[in-house]
Structure 1
Amino acid sequence: MSARGRAVDRLLTLDELPALPLPDDQAERARERAARYGMTRDHAVELGEPVIARVERRAAEGDRLAVRDRHRRLTYADLAAEARRLAALLERSGVEPGTVVGVGGERGAAVVAAFLAIELVGALYVPVDTAWPAARVRDVLDQAGAGLLLVADDASARGSALVDGAREAGCRIVRASEAEQCPPWQGPARLDSLDQPRYVLFTSGSTGRPKGAVVEHRGMVNHLHAKIVDLGLTADDAVAQTAPLGFDISVWQMLCPLLVGGRVEVVEDEAAHDPVAFARAVERRGITVAELVPTMVRHLLDDLAADSGRSGVPDGLRWMIATGEELPAELARRWLAAAPHARLLNAYGPTECSDDVTHHVVTEGDLDLLRLPIGTPIVNARLYVLRGEDDGAWRACDLGETGELFVGGVCVGRGYLGDPERTRAAFYRDPFDPAGRLYRTGDAVRLLPPGEGGEDRPVLQYLGRVDRQVKIAGVRMELGEIEAVLRRHPSVGAAAVVVHEHPAPPRP
C-alpha cells in the first residue's frame, strides 16, 4: 500500500500557496467589515475528538440504535465493534496512516462503519459511487492514489462498473464481509494533528479529470458541530441519509447524529428518489431532519398535494434543509405554507470548505426578495466579500455591493490532491490569519443591509457564478469538463457546451 504514497505528500504546504493581492488598507477594511456585519462567528468546539471515540462512549451508555438501513439495525455497540473489525481488515490488507482507501457499494450501515474504521487506522476516506461508469471510478481512484477499494456489500462486488474501474486503477478489491472473522483492532484512533487529512471528495474539473478536494479532520468536525448547534440536534433526532456517497453532504448525514446519540436513517434509493415514498419513510421511521436539493423539494410538495391518501408533510419532521441548488423564493413560500412545523434551512457551501459555510432559516420576510439569502457563517467560518480591480488587486465590498465570496477559518480544506496548479488557482495564504488558508469560491454575492430581507442584521445573498461552472440537479459541473470528455471521441474535433433552461415538464 505504501507504494502509492501518503496523501499529505501530494498536497501543497501553506508556504507554497500564493498570497492574495489584497493591499494592507483593503485587508484591514475587509477584516473590519466582516466583524461588523457578522461574517465571522467564533464558537468553542472540541476539534480533537475522533467521531469513533464519541460512538464508543455512547456504546457504553446502553443499547441505543445508531444506524438503520433496509437490511440491518446497528446499535452504538454494534457499530463500534464492526468499525474495529473493519479496521483490523484494512490494516491486514496493508492500509497505513495517511494512505487513501476507496469505499464503494450500496449506501448503508456498512459504509458508516467503514468511515469509522478508516478514521481508526488514520487513513483517508474517498467515496466511490456505484452509479459512476467504470472510467469515472478508475479516474477517481487513480488520481486519489488509492491502493485498495473496500466494497461495503457483496452485491456491489460482483461484475459491476465499480469493481471494473477499481481493477483498471490497479486497486486491490476487499469486501467488508471479510472482516467478520477479524479480531477487533486495538487502541485509540490515530489522530496525529487537527490538520490531518480526513477524506477526499471529487468534484468536476475543467480539464476533463475530477478534482480531489481534501478536507482536514478539524474542518469535518467543525462542520458536524455547526449542524448540531444551528439545528439544535439531540439524541431524539433521526437524520435521513439520502445523499449519494460522492456528495459532500453524505458525510454529515452519516456522522452528525452519532455525536449526539441520535440515529442515522439510511433511506434507500427507491424511496429517496420517489417523493411520496420518501414522505412515507420519514413518517414510518420517525425522521426529524431531512436534506434535499430544491428540485426534489418541489417534487415532494407537488406529489404530496396530488396524493389524496396523504395529509401532507409528516408532523414529526423538524427541519428541511435545501442545498445543492439555488432555492427559489416561490418554492420557499410553498414550503412555509405547507409545512409550518418544519423549519426551512437554506444551506450553502463548497466541498473545498468541508461542506456548508452558511446557514439561513427562511422566514416570511425573505419571500419578497428576488433571490433568497444564503445567510450568515456557520461556527468558526470567516467570510469576506471582495471585488477584483483592473490592476489585479482586490478590494473590500460594503453593504449592497456585489463581489466574490472568499472563505477563511478552520473549515477551509487543504487543496486538491496531487494537483498543485488548480490548488494555487483557488487557495491562498489567508491575509487575515498567517496560519490559515483562504478559499476563492467563484460565487458572486452581496451583503444585504439589515431589513432588506427578513433579518434585522446583514445576510449574504447568492447572485450566481463568476465562471463557467453550473449546477445540474444539484451536481456541480464544469462545462469545460464536459467539453474535454467530448473531445476524447475520435470523431469530435472541437466541442462547446452551453446550458439551456427549460420549464420542467408536467408530472403525470
Structure 2
Amino acid sequence: MTIADGLLGLAELPRLPISPQEVERARALAARRPHPADLADAVITLVERVAAGDGDRPAVADDARRLTYAELAAEARRLATLLEREGAGPGTVVAVGGERGAAVIAAFLAIELIGAVYVPADGTWPAARVAEVLTRAGAVLLLDTGRESVTPALAEGARGAGVRLVRAAEAAGLPRWSGPARLDGPDQPRYMLFTSGSTGRPKGAVVEHQGMLNHLHAKVVDLDMTASDTVAQTAPLGFDISIWQMLCPLVVGGRVRVVGDATAYDSVAFARLIGAEAVTIVELVPTMVRLLLDDLATALTTGPLSDTAATRETATPEPVTPATGLLGGLRWMLATGEELPTEVARRWLREMPHAGLVNAYGPTECSDDVTHHTVTPADLELLRLPIGTPVINTDLYVLRRDDDGWHACEPGETGELFVGGVCVGRGYAGDHDRTREAFFQDPFAGTPTGRLYRTGDAVRALPRGALQYLGRVDRQVKIAGVRMELGEIEAVLQRHPSVGAVAVVVQDFAILHRH
C-alpha cells in the first residue's frame, strides 16, 4: 500500500459554489505572483551538485557534529540503502523520529532518494501520539535517529502501531545507494505533517514535491539567500517550518545550524550561538521573538551580558543594544505561526535596525508560508500588521459567502482566504470527509495542482494589495505557534469516564492573574 491509496483525486473534490460572474471578479481581484522556478530537481540532487564542486563546504551542524556537503550526501545514500533493505520504497511512508539534528536532515534526503514520503514522529511526543501518527500515516517503518539509545516514546509508539523500529546507526558501513533520486513527477507526495483535528483525531496533511520546492525557492527569492547564509533550525519536527529550515540553505549551498532544545529555549544562550556560528536567518513564533527581546534587554543590564555591554558602551557613544553585539550578523528575523503584535514589531525595528523583520503566514496544507511581508515603520500605525502579499507561484482569493454562494471581496471588505497555486497540497491522508471540507477544484485558474484550499482565516485586502489577518472563522486557535482545535481537546477530555460534559475556551493568563 502506498500513500496514493489514501488520497482523493482531483475529480473527487467538490466544486466551489460560485457563479461564473463571481469567478471572473475573483480572478480580477486575486493577488498573484507568477515566477519561473525549476521544480523538477530533488533537494538531494542539489546537495550532490554542491558536493561535486565543493565537497568540503560546510552543510549541516548540530550540537554534536558537523557535516560537509560530501559527508551529508554520503550519509543520505547509506541511509537510503538501509531504508530500502527494510522495505521502504516509492510511495511508502517512512517515519523519522528522535531529536532534531544532522541525522534527521540526512534521513529526509534518503527518503527523497528512494521516492518515499517523510513523516516526523517527534521523540518528545507521548507514546500514544506517536502510535496514532504512525497508524494514521500508514508508515512502513520508524527510523530512530537517536545517537546513543532507542528513544523510549518512539519504541513504545512503534510497538503500539505494529510498526518496525529501525536505528539510523545501522546504516554505518552500508554501501551507498546508487542511482538518481526517484522523482516520478512534481506532484509526487513528499511529506506528511499532522495538524490538530476537531474530532480528536489529527489530520495528516500531504504536501507534494512541487509545493515543497516552490516554498524553498520562495524563501531564497524573498530573503535574497545565498551560499553565505546560515539558517537556524529551531522548530520541532512536527512543525511545518522545520522543513524549510532543514532544506532551504542546502538549495543554495548555504549552511544549516540545528539548535538543540536547551539552547533554543534559553534566549541568551541562543543569542550567543547566533553570534558564534554566524547565523544570518532565524524564524520564530512571535511569542519567542518577544522573549528574546525581553531576555536580552535584561541580560544586557543585569545579567551575564552586563560586563560586555559596559565595555562596549565605553568604547562607542552609540546606545548598547543586542544588535551591537551578539546579533550583529543577523540579516532576517521571520515571525510566523501566530499573529505578530505591533508592539513586538516596533521593538524589533528599534532594537534590531540591521535585521529585517518578516511577518510570514501560511497553512501546513499549502506547503507552509503563502505570504511574506517585510515590516516597515509605516506599518506600525496599523492596529494589526499586514501578513503581506503572495510568495511566488501562489494565488490568493478573498471571498465571502451568502445564501447563493461565494462572492469576491473588494479591497477593504472582510472575507475568508482561499489559496491556489503549486503550493496547495493533496489533502488529508485517509480522511476523505475532512479533505472535502477544505479542498476544492480550483475554478479560477489552471494551476498545476488544480486544487483550491479554504484556510478558515478571515482577512481583508489593504489599499496597496497586502492582506491583513483578522482571526479565525471557526474554533481553531494558535497558542505559542501551535495550531489547536478546541474541539480536539474537548473530544479527548470527553473520553474520560468521569467527564459528563466539557467546554474548552482560551483565556489570557495575564487577565486571570490580575483578577
TM over 0.5: yes
Once the two structures are superposed, what CA deviation does each residue of 1:25-58 show, in whole Å capped at 9, x if it has no partner? Answer: 0000000111xxxx10000000000000000010
Aligned to 1:385: 398
Q: 1:72 aligns with which of 65, 82, 86?
A: 65
Aligned to 1:453: none
1:231 Cα deviation after fit: 0.2
Whether the 8 Å contact between 1:319 and 1:344 is mirrored in structure 2 is: yes
1:504 Cα deviation after fit: 8.7
1:499 Cα deviation after fit: 0.8
Matches within 5 A, 1:339-418: 339-391=352-404, 393-418=405-430
Whether the 8 Å contact between 1:429 and 1:437 is mirrored in structure 2 is: yes
Distance 1:504 1:193 in 2: 52
Aligned to 1:452: none
Larger deviation: 305-314 or 317-326?
A: 305-314
Distance 1:82 1:201 in 2: 24
Distance 2:236 2:82 in 1: 25
Distance 1:156 1:138 in 2: 19
Distance 1:119 1:405 in 2: 32
Whether the 8 Å contact between 1:80 and 1:113 is mirrored in structure 2 is: yes
Once the two structures are superposed, what CA deviation does each residue of 1:91-110 show, in whole Å capped at 9, x if it has no partner? Answer: 00011110000000011000
Matches within 5 A, 1:28-107: 28-34=24-30, 39-62=31-54, 63-107=56-100
1:419 Cα deviation after fit: 0.3
Q: 2:465 aligns with which of 443, 458, 464?
A: 458
Distance 2:329 2:505 in 1: 42
Aligned to 1:253: 245
Whether the 8 Å contact between 1:107 and 1:268 is mirrored in structure 2 is: yes
Q: 1:445 aligns with which of 459, 463, 476?
A: 459
Whether the 8 Å contact between 1:106 and 1:156 is mirrored in structure 2 is: no
1:493 Cα deviation after fit: 2.0
Letter aligned with residue 495 of structure 1: V
Give SS of 2:467's match: strand
1:505 Cα deviation after fit: 10
Q: 1:124 aligns with which of 117, 123, 146?
A: 117
Once the two structures are superposed, what CA deviation does each residue of 1:144-172 show, in whole Å capped at 9, x if it has no partner? Answer: 000200001144614x1121111100110
Q: % of aligned pairs identical?
A: 69
Give SS of 2:343's match: helix
Give SS of 1:385's match: strand
Whether the 8 Å contact between 1:147 and 1:170 is mirrored in structure 2 is: no
Is 1:135 matched up with 2:128? yes
1:176 Cα deviation after fit: 0.4
Q: 1:234 aligns with which of 226, 240, 249?
A: 226
Q: 1:337 aligns with which of 317, 340, 350?
A: 350
Letter aligned with residue 348 of structure 1: Y
Larger deviation: 128-137 or 256-265?
A: 128-137
Q: 1:502 aligns with which of 486, 489, 509?
A: 509
Whether the 8 Å contact between 1:66 and 1:76 is mirrored in structure 2 is: yes
Q: TM-score, normalised by structure 1?
A: 0.95
Letter aligned with residue 15 of structure 2: A
Larger deviation: 87-96 or 307-316?
A: 307-316
Whether the 8 Å contact between 1:148 and 1:171 is mirrored in structure 2 is: yes
Whether the 8 Å contact between 1:130 and 1:156 is mirrored in structure 2 is: no
1:269 Cα deviation after fit: 0.6
> CA separation of 1:54/1:207 partners in 2, compared to 1, >3 Å: closer, same or farther?
same
Whether the 8 Å contact between 2:26 and 2:444 is mirrored in structure 1 is: no
Aligned to 2:495: 488
Letter aligned with residue 441 of structure 1: T
Letter aligned with residue 419 of structure 1: D
Q: 2:108 aligns with which of 109, 115, 125?
A: 115
Count of residue correspondences: 489
Q: 2:156 aligns with which of 144, 164, 171?
A: 164
> CA separation of 1:505/1:182 partners in 2, compared to 1, >3 Å: closer, same or farther?
farther
Distance 1:130 1:25 in 2: 51
Whether the 8 Å contact between 2:193 and 2:238 is mirrored in structure 1 is: yes
Distance 1:501 1:85 in 2: 49
Letter aligned with residue 181 of structure 2: A
Aligned to 1:145: 138
Distance 2:154 2:493 in 1: 22
Give SS of 1:110's match: helix
Once the two structures are superposed, what CA deviation does each residue of 1:198-239 show, in whole Å capped at 9, x if it has no partner? Answer: 000000001111000000000000000000000000000000
Whether the 8 Å contact between 1:317 and 1:342 is mirrored in structure 2 is: yes
Q: 2:294 aligns with which of 302, 306, 311?
A: 302
Distance 1:504 1:283 in 2: 37
| Unaligned segments of structure 1, at least 5 residues | 450-456
Aligned to 2:312: none
Letter aligned with residue 407 of structure 1: V
Q: 2:171 aligns with which of 158, 179, 182?
A: 179
Letter aligned with residue 270 of structure 2: F
Give SS of 2:155's match: helix
Aligned to 2:442: 430
RMSD: 1.2
Distance 1:53 1:100 in 2: 21
Once the two structures are superposed, what CA deviation does each residue of 1:248-307 show, in whole Å capped at 9, x if it has no partner? Answer: 000000000001000000011111111111111100110000011101110111111111
- Structure 1 runs (4+) greater than 6 angstroms displaced: none
1:488 Cα deviation after fit: 1.1
Matches within 5 A, 1:150-229: 150-155=143-148, 157-158=150-151, 160-229=152-221
Once the two structures are superposed, what CA deviation does each residue of 1:445-483 show, in whole Å capped at 9, x if it has no partner? Answer: 00011xxxxxxx221000000000000111000000000
Whether the 8 Å contact between 1:104 and 1:129 is mirrored in structure 2 is: yes
Distance 2:88 2:180 in 1: 16
Whether the 8 Å contact between 1:156 and 1:162 is mirrored in structure 2 is: no
Give SS of 1:113's match: helix
Is 1:321 matched up with 2:314? no
Distance 1:498 1:155 in 2: 41
Distance 2:37 2:487 in 1: 39
Give SS of 1:138's match: helix
Distance 1:183 1:504 in 2: 60
Give SS of 2:506's match: coil
Letter aligned with residue 452 of structure 2: L
1:503 Cα deviation after fit: 2.3
1:489 Cα deviation after fit: 1.0
Distance 1:133 1:494 in 2: 25
Letter aligned with residue 245 of structure 1: L
> CA separation of 1:226/1:117 partners in 2, compared to 1, >3 Å: closer, same or farther?
same
> CA separation of 1:228/1:156 partners in 2, compared to 1, >3 Å: closer, same or farther?
farther
| Unaligned segments of structure 2, at least 5 residues | 310-320
Give SS of 1:165's match: helix
Distance 1:135 1:472 in 2: 22
Distance 2:10 2:149 in 1: 39
